[in-house]
A and B are shown apart, each in its own frame.
Chain A
């Protein structure tokens, strides 16, 4: 009886309300110039740190913005339907168990672009509306927009 009451209480609390993030923006997944194409599943697996190698069998270098950054919130919502801190926890589980390397952190979108352009196998994300995409055209590729 105690167990049933406990479970009923849990489900009541779960259905009590839901939380929504309003997202009406898109993000661009950017890459080094020699990465031409990646499909959605590859991008999801790379950024969730489950897959580490690119299709050319080289190690991907990932670049991220702080989780408090609006673009990170949009990235987590549009790709994983999660809050940034939920994705951070998934990363932590892999990084602190020795099964993945944490993405490099950039503090601004221009820093993301510069870092991605400086590595041969890098991936990052910035706002799809960012004027930086035009400014740095030729130094990076846009492999997907979400």
Chain B
């Protein structure tokens, strides 16, 4: 359903481009993009004292076109190879980040409304819409309790329709945005959700979000609610739930709800940001665990971070961040808790980052993060050079 929708949209874009006056069309197109390359080192104090090193490559190409009648087209293709950054995101792939047709209307000089169709970003918190763009991040690695690698694909985009209304006042801007649609889930998300390798069918339908924002010259306050129902039918196979050669036919639905609140205070010299997330995933009891518990499976999480960024010079900034994630697994059957081990545990992270914007188009960033959970301390060192065009 999703991919068909996107194909139709791309076909419409081509038809429109051929239908428009060539000179006007070219004149109203703008492109931009970036390429980033870096290195990652991960070490931990687990029994085997494992140390892993890998490269990171990120790239993006953005295209926008202003069409007649206040219609715009915006699209972006991304490439990501994040090495060993996460067990679940170790992939090398191009993806269509978004492709929308927007119709814009201003009912008064102090307001503006936009209706968008296509694939659009799903607005989770302050950074999620541009989490893959090096020039918009305060550090290479964003706060993991909120911008977790494991849930990247569920939080990244929706194929459907979006409405935004913004009111501009002398005190600041108030905006409300709602989006509905489906989400084409990546294999990495399926792996992270089910801790298995194979699936016959998985879909995320009926996804919606509500996003409220206030912004003035110093403050940004964000509140986002997401709801999605993921339906899985197929088999879990492989080394799943800590059991070698685990094989089980399974049919289930998971309802995932996220509530995010974020505040950012920005001045010329510094930026302070705090965000929190309340997450709940529930699914009706499935046969596999019925002999251990009669309760529905429920996973709840509460995470937050505090982040300060100081501009040492206009082009050099230093960021320090504290992150915390608390999991509530009391509604999970004991068997799940014991099988998942380290994968589901509270964690506390500390992060430092230094970014030097060499000029308008070049940037160097270096990160150091320590993640502590109940069993393991893991240290992440990252460096990345980015170029934009």
Query: What size tier do the contact residues of chain A reach?
Result: 35 or more
- Contact indicator A96/B136 (Cβ below 8 Å): yes
- Contact indicator A86/B268 (Cβ below 8 Å): yes
A50 CB within 8 Å of chain B: yes
Which residue of B has the minimal Cβ distance to A55?
B109
What residues of chain B lie closer than 8 Å to A21, measured between beta carbons?
314
What residues of chain A lie closer than 8 Å to B357, measured between beta carbons?
85
- Contact indicator B70/A19 (Cβ below 8 Å): no
A82 with B268: in contact, given A53-B112, A55-B109, A92-B133 (CB under 8 Å)?
yes
What residues of chain A lie closer than 8 Å to B166, measured between beta carbons?
50-51
A96 with B76: in contact, given A52-B104, A67-B360 (CB under 8 Å)?
yes
- Contact indicator B136/A92 (Cβ below 8 Å): yes
Query: What size tier do the contact residues of chain B reach?
Result: 35 or more
- Contact indicator A45/B173 (Cβ below 8 Å): yes
A93 CB within 8 Å of chain B: yes
A102 with B30: in contact, given A9-B320, A53-B112 (CB under 8 Å)?
yes
B225 CB within 8 Å of chain A: no
Q: How many A-B residue pairs have CB under 8 A?
A: 125
The answer for the CA separation of A50 and B172 in the assembled complex, in Å, is 11
What residues of chain A lie closer than 8 Å to B232, measured between beta carbons?
none
What residues of chain B lie closer than 8 Å to A51, measured between beta carbons?
106, 112, 166, 168
A134 CB within 8 Å of chain B: no
Taken residue by residue from 60 to 81, chain B's Cβ proximity to chain A (1 for < 8 Å, 0 otherwise) reads as 1010101000101011100000
- Contact indicator B64/A101 (Cβ below 8 Å): yes
- Contact indicator B106/A53 (Cβ below 8 Å): yes
- Contact indicator B270/A98 (Cβ below 8 Å): no
- Contact indicator B130/A92 (Cβ below 8 Å): yes
A residues 1-22 near B (Cβ < 8 Å) are 3, 6-7, 9-11, 13-14, 16, 18-19, 21
Which residue of A has the minimal Cβ distance to B314?
A83
- Contact indicator A89/B136 (Cβ below 8 Å): yes
- Secondary structure at the B interface, as helix, strand, loop or mixed, is strand
- Contact indicator B130/A85 (Cβ below 8 Å): no
Taken residue by residue from 96 to 138, chain B's Cβ proximity to chain A (1 for < 8 Å, 0 otherwise) reads as 0110100011100100100000001100000001100101100
A6 with B72: in contact, given A41-B168, A68-B360, A101-B66 (CB under 8 Å)?
no
Taken residue by residue from 57 to 74, chain A's Cβ proximity to chain B (1 for < 8 Å, 0 otherwise) reads as 111000000111000000
A78 CB within 8 Å of chain B: no
- Cβ distance B346 to chain A, nearest Cβ, rounded Å: 15
What residues of chain A lie closer than 8 Å to B136, measured between beta carbons?
89, 92-93, 96
- Cβ distance A112 to chain B, nearest Cβ, rounded Å: 16
A residues 28-42 near B (Cβ < 8 Å) are 41-42
- Contact indicator A96/B106 (Cβ below 8 Å): no
What residues of chain B lie closer than 8 Å to A81, measured between beta carbons?
217, 267-268
Taken residue by residue from 141 to 175, chain B's Cβ proximity to chain A (1 for < 8 Å, 0 otherwise) reads as 00000000000000000000000001010100100
The answer for the CA separation of A18 and B359 in the assembled complex, in Å, is 21
Within the complex, which residue of B60, B97, B100, B311 is in contact with A19, where a contact is CB–CB below 8 Å?
A: B311
- Contact indicator B109/A101 (Cβ below 8 Å): no
Within the complex, which residue of A10, A68, A86, A89 is in contact with B320, where a contact is CB–CB below 8 Å?
A: A10
- Cβ distance B312 to chain A, nearest Cβ, rounded Å: 8
What residues of chain A lie closer than 8 Å to B268, measured between beta carbons?
19, 81-83, 86
What residues of chain B lie closer than 8 Å to A132, measured between beta carbons?
none
A114 CB within 8 Å of chain B: no
- Cβ distance A47 to chain B, nearest Cβ, rounded Å: 13
- Cβ distance A86 to chain B, nearest Cβ, rounded Å: 7
- Contact indicator A95/B62 (Cβ below 8 Å): yes
- Contact indicator A80/B217 (Cβ below 8 Å): yes
- Contact indicator A19/B314 (Cβ below 8 Å): yes
5 contacts between A and B (CB under 8 A): A14-B270, A14-B310, A41-B168, A83-B315, A95-B32
